[in-house]
Amino acid sequence: MLEKIKQTTNFIKQHVSFNPEIGIILGTGLGQLAEKITIEHSMEYSEIPNFPVSTVEGHQGRLIFGILGGKKVVALQGRFHYYEGYSMDEVTFPVRVLKFLGISYLLVSNASGGLNPAYKIGDLMVITDHINLFPTNPLIGKNINELGPRFPDMSEAYNKKMIANAKEIAADKGISLQYGVYAGVSGPTFETPAEYKYIRIIGADAVGMSTVPEIIVARHMNIPCFGMSVITDVGVEGQIVEVSHEEVQEAAALAAPNLLTIFEALIAKI
């Protein structure tokens, strides 16, 4: 694993001379953040050795290097999901590469189903914590001590300072935000009404099929993380209707501009 990470990082460094400070993962329907980045270099995932290739519609596969909020960033436009059949090592590989490229912060976005009855489609939720409901954990197996400890602390999975900064920025710009717990599930099925209810009862405000594995490996490497979800459908009893991937993409794209405004201002503050 370590050799692969180093090989990929060396390949990227040979092709792109750029030292990013901040890593960004663009979730479903949120690829338009890339338009806000002043792009200096970009690489297709297919060109990068050891990188998996994204198979889901709405996820491009491109690594972007550029300037956002006055800072050097590297963005993963398109992520790898466990439901696509990738192993957890594959799902999280790009995050490890970002660390070796030099990032000191990670900002993550996703689309999710709202469970908190106060949430509406199109709301933005700052992720304050998560619950790992994937059937596994990306750190299972022999620990790679060069990356981090055997038993990583998760008491501040989502950086409190960045959450506080996001709150200030939102107040300043008149953007309303929700704050809540994200439950990560494998998918690819959306939840049954009983599953939505269960996930709500155990303490989640939103549910989605990504993010948790990436945050776990990032925290293993001690990277401060910030995450934001777009609520693209609602899993609240009495309000549950049929949901499709297309609707999720559309709702995410509509809420994307405010999410991007927060990300940009947050990065400027780092």
Q: Which residues pair with 180 in a beta bridge?
A: 127
139 forms part of the interface with ligand HPA (CB under 6 A): no
Q: Which amino acid is at 140?
A: I
Beta bridge partners, 253, equal: none
As a whole number of Å, the CA-based R_g of the chain is: 17
Residue 233 in contact with ligand HPA, rule: CB under 6 A: yes
Which position among 235, 253, 255, 264 is part of the footprint of ligand HPA (CB under 6 A)?
Answer: 235
Size of the site for ligand HPA (CB under 6 A): 14
Burial 233-261 (b: 16+ CB within 10 A, else e): bbbbeeebeebebeebbebbbebbebbbb
CB of 119 to ligand HPA, least distance (A): 11
- Token pair 């998996």: residue: 52
Judged by CB under 6 A, the stretch of 54-62, 78-86, 143-151, 227-235 that binds ligand HPA is 227-235
Do residues 29 and 248 touch, judged by C-beta distance below 8 A?
yes
Fill in the per-residue mask, 74 to 113: x = in contact with ligand HPA (CB under 6 A), - = not in contact: -------------------------------------xxx
Contact call for residue 248 and ligand HPA (CB under 6 A): yes
x-or-dash pattern for ligand HPA, window 182-211, by CB under 6 A?
-----x--xx---------------xxx--
Residue 39, number of CB atoms within 10 A of its CB: 15
- What's the Cα-to-Cα distance from 110 to each of 36, 50, 269, rounded to whole Å? 17, 24, 22
Q: Does 9 bind ligand HPA (CB under 6 A)?
A: no
For residue 228, state whether it binds ligand HPA (rule: CB under 6 A): no
Q: 123 or 233: whose CB is closer to ligand HPA?
A: 233
Asked whether the beta carbons of 269 and 165 are under 8 A apart, the reply is yes
Closest residue to ligand HPA, judged by C-beta, is 113
Give the interface with ligand HPA as residue ranges (CB under 6 A): 111-113, 187, 190-191, 207-209, 232-233, 235, 243, 248
